Amino acid sequence: MTLLERFLFPTRRAAPEALRCRTEGLTILVTGASRGIGEALALRLGEAGAHLILTARSEERLREVKAAVEERGGTAETFALDLRDDSALEAFLESVGGRRIDVFVNNAGKSIRRPLADSLDRAHDFVRTMALNYHAPVRLLLGLAPRLRESCGQVVNVSALNLLMVPMPHWAAYQASKAAFDQCLRAAAPELRAWGIAVTTLYLPLVRTAMIEPTRAYRNGPAMDPDQVALLICRCLVSRRRRWLPWWAVPLEPGSLLLRPLLERLFERSVRKASRASRP
């Protein structure tokens, strides 16, 4: 970790005793658990005594994560499924329908950066991104809410910091899909809390996972480590806080609103400049 990353993303660990006291014996569902944040979180929660239900598309990677959890003394079940597949999602919800669920961590996601000019014949980019980032977590939330209500459980949504700022060009599909579930959960939160269900949203900056690899500009930029995020989620499970964002991002939300006209003009100028530079 670079000095800049240490400054921007200071690591604060959840006290092991407090985490174990909060999570031991709980059943926690983590989506996108085969790598990155989901894998790191599974290992942390397994060590703390939680029983894990892990989902992802790769059955092989899930088996590896399950084995690593069990090596650390934890227990885990794995379900290899594509959350964009309605029938597979329904079958999964049926399989856990009668089970106690204490925490739902919505971590699975799809990122895509593509100019609109390159998307004119790729409507499926929007459809697939919306299916995974919005429709799937909504369906899981609806299906799991009765179980979470019985256990006075918690929903943890792994979201993106850029949702609190002016939308950036080339990210239309991704930002729309993430914003859709963010708004859905914010609207549903008062009802969920009235049922005793805590709701936590983490507005994360860049995290060094495979998701940012396709964007060259992000590869060497400051980013959080997946295990840092896992520790942060563990702290949120103990505190049941409502939202988290980096300390330096607190003024970004009102600042972005005030500067929106200027930022939008700057984005337009940048896009025009890039367009002219790409012409033969």
The answer to whether residue 6 is domain-embedded is no
Annotated catalytic residue, options 134, 174, 203, 218: 174
Q: Which DSSP string do the residues of 230-268 spell out, in sequence order?
A: HHHHHHHHHH--SEE--GGGTTHHHHHHHTHHHHHHHHH
Judge if 190 and 150 occupy the same domain.
yes
Domain-embedded: residue 116: yes
Q: Is 174 a catalytic residue?
A: yes
Residues 80-97: tens digit of each pLDDT: 999 999 999 999 999 998
Q: Are residues 200 and 268 in the same domain?
A: no
Tell me the CATH number at 19. 3.40.50.720
Indicate whether 77 and 89 sit together in one domain: yes
> Does position 37 have pLDDT exceeding 90, yes or no?
yes
Is the confidence at residue 272, as pLDDT, over 90?
no
Residues 259 and 157 in one domain: no
Q: Do 142 and 273 have their domain in common?
A: no
Residue 47 forms part of a structural domain: yes
**152: nearest Cα among 188, 185, 95, 193:** 193
Q: 255 and 200 in one domain?
A: no
Domain that holds residue 276: 251-280
- Considering the domain boundaries, does residue 83 fall inside one? yes
Task: For residues 33-39, give the mean pLDDT.
Answer: 97
pLDDT at 217: 62
If asked whether residues 57 and 186 sit together in one domain, one would say yes
pLDDT of residue 263 exceeding 80, the answer is yes
Rank 2-6, 25-29, 112-116, 270-274 by mean pLDDT and report only the highest.
Answer: 25-29
